[in-house]
């Protein structure tokens, strides 16, 4: 008998487990894969290492806050590097700019790129600061079971306007920038939550401010080091971790959870079950609930990703750690992904080459290119048939941007949405769980409290959404809810 059973060892599950163990609970965590971390994973072959999931860490203070529970910090257990530039941006016409880590340098660089737009960037970032100041103490500060929760945490009606939920990110960007390339740059941040700039609320304008103010970070050895660090910390906190173990069902009566059943039939009693699995998997398979499932399926699913892991010989002039080569047809790209269910012909390419910062990530004189493009969720495309042709197409698109890898490729692997779905049981291979597309998206996202007493949801498909810091925040929200609920139900 455990106090708490956690189903799934992604970052959200690990964060909840750590906080609950630190609060004195007996916690057991089940993960079907052999290692913890979920999408925060790595691939190493022939001396090349790739982060196959997250490659960019934002809001490191969220992880400092989590690690403080175990008496440590990111700087103590990892080797975090603040990147400068944050990212190198390229357009098909050959223009580009470096998003510099220091704000004044960023403004000056954007002014060089497009005269007069440095001030526009400063204004846009300042707007993002106001959005973040309000959203962190309202939207992110606790559970979100209805819009009332949001309103209750607001200090004045001005807070609602400050988070700018009614217009789209694209419309907000257009009101700041005259240069369409900078509108495209600002819209790109919608993809940080698997969304489209034409549908996601302007609230997402806080993301570039977050990057600018608290940095874009890398952990030496690869971002997946964070999963190893959390695994060690869980062990130190006394969490019983069982990997290679699939949760087959969540046991419950009509009112409360009773524990979990594992594949193979073993049952484990627990008063609290924290589900870090995708909410569709939870309500379709583990605790079948048609009403809850229907609700989950109403939430817009995030985009997925198609990745090339390319082992490249030689060094590339001008390659940064993070690089973006923009599509020449932004509207067509997002329409393909979100309206037509097609992998875009002219995608924006994200190229991460962590070897630029960390020579351990590739053999001497070589580069680890992780090329990621946004594509629709898995069911829209037959990836068994399309993976190879799309890989070849992307290599041509790269060549078109001046990155011709022909003759330099030692090997290339692909990761498709179907792979992401299969590896992490993520619905349709969604990268971020649910997207932010549409004004109601934040409220359609499954709540952290499940439909039976003692059931809680953490991770990308529940509030507050996907991305490393957000899923860690969901762990904190759930740990606080468990503490509050237990206080309320404790017999005196
Ligand atoms: C290609 C890619 C790039 C990304 N880039 C970034 C980035 O740069 N920065 C960033 O912040 N975020 C990024 N993300 C998003 C980030 O990885 C996720 O939001 C976050 O890691 C999800 O954490 P989670 O807690 O939701 O759990 P998940 O990672 O979804 O893990 C859930 C776990 O539950 C396990 N599980 C499922 N079903 C069962 C079951 N029945 N029994 C037992 N275990 C089960 C799965 O095996 C998995 O380990 C990226 C994701 C991908 C895929």
Instruction: Report domain extents, the chain.
Output: 1-40+220-299+434-492, 111-215, 303-427
d(Cα 271, Cα 29) in Å, to the nearest integer?
14
- The structure tokens listed for 308 are 């090339």
Looking at the CA of residue 471, tell me the nearest atom of ligand 1: 25
Which among 231, 237, 241, 214 has a CA at the least distance from the CA of 77? 231
What is the residue-wise DSSP string for 433-488?
Answer: SB---STTHHHHSPPSB-SSBTEEE-STTSTT-SSHHHHHHHHHHHHHHHHHHHHH
H/E stretch holding 171: helix 169-176
Counting ligand 1 atoms within 8 A of each CB, the residue from 6, 35, 54, 214 with the most, and so the one to mutate, is 54
Is the distance from the beta carbon of residue 38 to the nearest atom of ligand 1 less than 6 Å? yes
Residue identified by tokens 């919608």 is 190
Is the distance from the beta carbon of residue 347 to the nearest atom of ligand 1 less than 6 Å? no
How many A from CA of 327 to the centre of ligand 1? 27
Q: What is the pLDDT of residue 492?
A: 46
Q: Whose CA is nearest to atom 38 of ligand 1?
A: 277
Angle between helices 60-68 and 468-489 (to 10 degrees): 40
Q: Phi first, then psi: give them for residue 457, nearest 5 degrees.
A: -115, 135
Three-class DSSP category at 322: strand
Is the distance from the beta carbon of residue 465 to the nearest atom of ligand 1 less than 6 Å? no
Q: What is the pLDDT of residue 351?
A: 98
Mean pLDDT over 317-325 rounds to: 98
Mean of the per-residue pLDDT values for the chain? 96
Are 376 and 343 in contact, with CB atoms under 8 Å apart? yes
Q: What is the pLDDT of residue 490?
A: 55
Q: Whose CA is nearest to atom 7 of ligand 1?
A: 54
Is residue 470 exposed (0-12), middle (13-18) or buried (19+ Cβ within 10 Å)?
A: buried
Which among 432, 434, 440, 448 has a CA at the least distance from the CA of 145? 448
Domain 303-427: which CATH number of 3.90.1200, 1.10.10, 3.30.519, 3.40.50: 3.30.519
How many A from CA of 162 to the centre of ligand 1? 31
Q: Which residues contact 48 (CB under 8 A, 6 or more apart)?
A: 309, 311, 361, 362, 363, 366, 368, 410
Looking at the CA of residue 285, tell me the nearest atom of ligand 1: 41
Cα–Cα distances (Å) from 107 to 36, 111, 319, 448, 457, in that order, read: 40, 6, 22, 39, 41
Is the distance from the beta carbon of residue 55 to the nearest atom of ligand 1 less than 6 Å? yes
Three-class DSSP category at 126: helix
Are 422 and 181 in contact, with CB atoms under 8 Å apart? no
Are 372 and 305 in contact, with CB atoms under 8 Å apart? yes
How many A from CA of 51 to the centre of ligand 1? 13
Mean pLDDT over 333-338 rounds to: 96
* pLDDT over 70, % of the chain: 99
- Equal fold, 1-40+220-299+434-492 vs 303-427: no
Is the distance from the beta carbon of residue 463 to the nearest atom of ligand 1 less than 6 Å? no
As its CATH architecture, domain 1-40+220-299+434-492 has: 3-Layer(bba) Sandwich (3.50)
Mean pLDDT over 113-125 rounds to: 97
Q: Whose CA is nearest to atom 27 of ligand 1?
A: 10
| pLDDT, tens digit, 9 for 90 and up, residues 168-186 | 999 999 999 999 999 999 9
| CA quadruple 353, 121, 216, 84: dihedral sign | positive
DSSP state of 303: P
Q: Phi first, then psi: give them for residue 54, nearest 5 degrees.
A: -55, 140
> Hey, what long-range contacts does 292-298 have (CB within 8 A, 24 or more apart)?
292/446, 292/450, 292/451, 295/444, 295/446, 296/446, 296/461, 298/444
Mean pLDDT over 33-61 rounds to: 98
Q: What is the pLDDT of residue 282?
A: 98
Q: Whose CA is nearest to atom 32 of ligand 1?
A: 10
d(Cα 183, Cα 181) in Å, to the nearest integer?
5
| pLDDT, tens digit, 9 for 90 and up, residues 153-165 | 999 989 988 999 8
Which among 226, 256, 257 has a CA at the least distance from the CA of 471? 226
How many A from CA of 433 to the centre of ligand 1? 9
Mean pLDDT over 75-90 rounds to: 98
Is the distance from the beta carbon of residue 49 to the nearest atom of ligand 1 less than 6 Å? no
Q: What is the distance between the terminal CA atoms of the chain, rounded to a whole angstrom?
A: 22
Is the distance from the beta carbon of residue 321 to the nearest atom of ligand 1 less than 6 Å? no
Looking at the CA of residue 460, tell me the nearest atom of ligand 1: 26
What is the residue-wise DSSP string for 237-263?
Answer: TT-EEEES--EEEEEE-SSBEEEEEET
pLDDT over threshold 70, residue 321? yes
Cα–Cα distances (Å) from 174 to 121, 167, 331, in that order, read: 12, 11, 14
| pLDDT, tens digit, 9 for 90 and up, residues 2-30 | 899 999 999 999 999 999 999 999 999 99
Which among 225, 221, 273 has a CA at the least distance from the CA of 249? 273
Is the distance from the beta carbon of residue 9 to the nearest atom of ligand 1 less than 6 Å? yes
Backbone angle region of 467, left / alpha / beta, with phi > 0 → left and psi within -120 to 50 → alpha: left
Q: Whose CA is nearest to atom 18 of ligand 1?
A: 467
Q: Phi first, then psi: give them for residue 6, nearest 5 degrees.
A: -110, 125
How many A from CA of 71 to the centre of ligand 1? 25
Q: Whose CA is nearest to atom 36 of ligand 1?
A: 8
Q: Whose CA is nearest to atom 4 of ligand 1?
A: 54
How many A from CA of 11 to the centre of ligand 1? 7
Is the distance from the beta carbon of residue 462 to the nearest atom of ligand 1 less than 6 Å? no
Lowest mean pLDDT, pick from 240-249, 357-366, 479-488? 479-488
pLDDT over threshold 70, residue 491? no
User: In the chain, how many H helices and how many E strands?
Assistant: 18, 18
How many A from CA of 442 to the centre of ligand 1? 19
Which among 271, 273, 247, 277 has a CA at the least distance from the CA of 261? 247
Three-class DSSP category at 28: strand
- The rounded radius of gyration (Å) of the Cα atoms in the chain is 22
| pLDDT, tens digit, 9 for 90 and up, residues 380-438 | 789 999 999 999 999 999 999 999 999 999 999 999 999 999 999 999 999 999 999 99
Mean pLDDT over 58-80 rounds to: 97
Is the distance from the beta carbon of residue 36 to the nearest atom of ligand 1 less than 6 Å? no
| pLDDT, tens digit, 9 for 90 and up, residues 281-303 | 999 999 999 999 999 999 999 99
* pLDDT over 90, % of the chain: 93
How many A from CA of 489 to the centre of ligand 1? 32
């Amino acid at each position: 008998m455990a106090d708490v059973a956690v189903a799934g060892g992604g970052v959200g599950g690990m964060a909840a487990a750590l906080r609950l163990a630190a609060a004195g609970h007996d916690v057991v965590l089940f993960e079907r894969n052999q290692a913890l971390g979920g999408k925060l994973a790595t691939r190493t072959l022939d001396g090349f290492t790739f982060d196959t999931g997250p490659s960019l860490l934002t809001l490191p203070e969220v992880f400092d806050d989590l690690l403080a529970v175990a008496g440590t910090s990111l700087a103590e257990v990892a080797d975090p590097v603040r990147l400068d530039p944050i990212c190198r941006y390229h357009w098909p016409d050959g223009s580009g700019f470096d998003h510099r880590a220091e704000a004044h340098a960023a403004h000056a660089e954007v002014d060089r790129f497009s005269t007069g737009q440095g001030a526009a960037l400063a204004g846009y970032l300042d707007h993002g600061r106001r959005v973040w100041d309000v959203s962190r103490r309202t939207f992110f500060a606790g559970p979100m079971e209805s819009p009332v929760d949001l309103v209750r945490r607001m200090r004045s009606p001005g807070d609602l306007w400050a988070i700018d939920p009614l217009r789209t990110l694209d419309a907000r960007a257009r009101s700041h920038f005259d240069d369409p390339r900078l509108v495209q740059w600002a819209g790109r941040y919608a993809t940080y939550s698997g969304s489209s700039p034409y549908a996601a609320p302007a609230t997402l304008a806080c993301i570039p401010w977050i990057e600018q103010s608290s940095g874009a970070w890398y952990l030496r050895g690869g971002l997946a080091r964070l999963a190893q660090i959390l695994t060690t910390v869980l062990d130190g906190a006394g969490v019983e971790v069982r990997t290679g173990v699939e949760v087959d069902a969540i046991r419950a009566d009509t009112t409360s959870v009773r524990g979990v059943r594992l594949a193979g039939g073993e049952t484990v009693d627990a008063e609290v079950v924290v589900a870090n699995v995708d909410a569709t998997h939870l309500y379709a398979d583990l605790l079948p609930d048609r009403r809850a499932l229907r609700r989950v399926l109403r939430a817009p699913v995030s985009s997925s990703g198609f990745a090339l892991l390319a082992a490249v010989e030689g060094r590339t002039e001008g390659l940064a750690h993070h690089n973006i080569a923009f599509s020449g047809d932004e509207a067509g790209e997002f329409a393909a992904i979100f309206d037509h269910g097609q992998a875009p012909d002219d995608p924006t390419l994200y190229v991460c080459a962590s070897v630029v910062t960390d020579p351990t990530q590739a053999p001497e004189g070589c580069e680890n290119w992780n090329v990621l493009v946004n594509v629709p969720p898995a069911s829209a495309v037959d990836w068994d048939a399309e993976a190879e042709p799309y890989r070849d197409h992307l290599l041509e698109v790269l060549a078109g941007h001046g990155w011709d890898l022909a003759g330099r490729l030692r090997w290339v692997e692909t990761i498709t949405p179907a792979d992401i779905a299969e590896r992490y049981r993520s619905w349709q291979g969604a990268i971020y769980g649910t997207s932010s597309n549409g004004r109601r998206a934040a409220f359609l996202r499954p709540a952290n409290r499940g439909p039976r007493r003692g059931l809680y949801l953490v991770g990308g498909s529940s509030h507050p959404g996907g991305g490393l810091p957000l899923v860690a925040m969901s762990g904190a929200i759930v740990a606080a809810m468990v503490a509050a609920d237990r206080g309320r139900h404790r017999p005196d």
